[in-house]
Structure 1
């Protein structure tokens, strides 16, 4: 589908992750995959809260206009309408900014969706520091908040390859699902034979047992980049990708942790309440004590700026990965 028709002029500051020279990218994997699968699944509907352009759902709108609903800037209505559609047999894919879902429609996600086991799939855009519009638009605590909702599946895809698989997989996951969406030109980082499995962490790179990185979202791709760079220095770093935050693959994380002397946990989220907290809780409960460093955001609000600027200032960029690896 032509880019000009589905997306128009895009601004990477509105939610595209940093592109790295020489890397392959795929345009709008969420919307294009949803449009494709909906051709054979008439029960799928798509909704947005006036954020179609910046959630990449426009390919679905163009392919299936009679099944697309823009409810306007009303996130609570978005969730309630989606929950209502699920009651009549629809699978409702919802899109807007993650910060608006978590802060404005939290109770509606908890009760109308999770508690009611509604077939609502929320693709929440621009989590963490991907949005350059400052604290009002940056969902840097969304994993912490959404983890508190019972019966809610939470997924943080790494790249375009995994995101496309997640779009298809969530249709058959019972109940409500919250996905941290990737938009625009999304890098292709994972191998072609990668297979997403809900609730399963995947080893992306085996190491020599010294340093192991446990990461989620596109930070897993950054961990791979860092591992490749330090390989030239004689360091063989392992990488575990935790694509599903809830249900959390405790057994997979512990198995990986036991094989490494030192751990690094990385996430595009505050260091409290997200992946780091899950890993530390799992290690403590299992009686495992070993050095662990966290790459993530401090507790605070964050200013406006480009993603490159923000990541460097708040120390979640590639140089920060290299610094932490070399500390060991």
Structure 2
């Protein structure tokens, strides 16, 4: 059996920007002294006149992006998620969200899979922060194919978008003819009747692997790839929850304010069901190899399987 191809979604981001740059002259890329790590350097190499290095001044970068957007440009500004969402929250809220400007934020190195950089750089709170900003679209792609599609879709829509990318190379799972990306529409990867697994980002591949283990024991699992956290695909959540009666969310993010909270709100208001939220449980990350951290925090397939079994 051939080995599954693995690509980090930050690489997908850089390649997608370069591809879009060839088609659209109004696309401008800003970075905060991290072009090599965020992979916007791929765009810079091809379009140096449309790449602006703002230095280690992320808040200023957002202000520049807002100014560019007001002149008709489509700016993508990039940094690590901790800085892109955390350090710049006020500027995003007031300079981008309030006037609803066409600024795209490419946040890389999200979650504990940043690895050895440790707790200060492992942002598990960014989705929660961005969800509170009115009119903000939030996309957390699961693999290379989805990440490229998300960048293209973000360019084509009007309004602010927060795109979440990772450092760790993850399996390519959407390499199929019927794959279609649409903002705000989750993807049912597998039908099931006993349990719904709703996952986002790198946890989609891990959830699929966990579902295989559960299926082997006679448990019918529905797996949903919820790449868009906001606007959430409410109709899909309601339909699946009504069918299975048991819902588990899986995210490489705090269980507070992210995918789990968004799904919980829908279930509480529209379709009561048993719910388990799997994610980072009200704690900081720590330094260590990415795969070992996912294992320790029980966010790998084995950890998901174990938690789901206890839930059932």
The normalised TM-score by structure 2 is 0.93
The 5 A counterparts of 1:1-328 are 22-26=3-7, 28-132=11-115, 133-183=117-167, 185-192=169-176, 193-207=178-192, 209-288=193-272, 290-327=273-310, 328=312
CA contact (8 A) 2:118 2:287 kept: yes
Q: Say which SS state the counterpart of residue 35 (structure 2) adopts.
A: coil
Query: In the alignment, which residue of structure 2 is the partner of 1:16?
Result: none
Per-residue Cα deviation, 1:230-262 (whole angstroms, up to 9, x for no partner): 333333311011111111111111111111132
C-alpha separation between the residues in 1 aligned to 2:99 and 2:179?
33
Q: Say which SS state the counterpart of residue 131 (structure 1) adopts.
A: helix
C-alpha separation between the residues in 1 aligned to 2:217 and 2:3?
22
C-alpha separation between the residues in 2 aligned to 1:319 and 1:186?
16
Cα RMSD for the two superposed structures: 1.6
Runs of 4+ in 1 over 3 A off after TM superposition: 182-186
Gap change, CA 1:287 and 1:231, over 3 Å in 2: closer
Gap change, CA 1:39 and 1:152, over 3 Å in 2: same
By how many angstroms is 1:291 displaced? 2.3
Q: Give unpaired runs (5+ residues) of structure 2.
A: none
Aligned length: 306
By how many angstroms is 1:55 displaced? 0.8
CA contact (8 A) 2:113 2:166 kept: no
C-alpha separation between the residues in 2 aligned to 1:214 and 1:287?
15
By how many angstroms is 1:186 displaced? 4.5
Q: Give unpaired runs (5+ residues) of structure 1.
A: 1-20
The normalised TM-score by structure 1 is 0.89
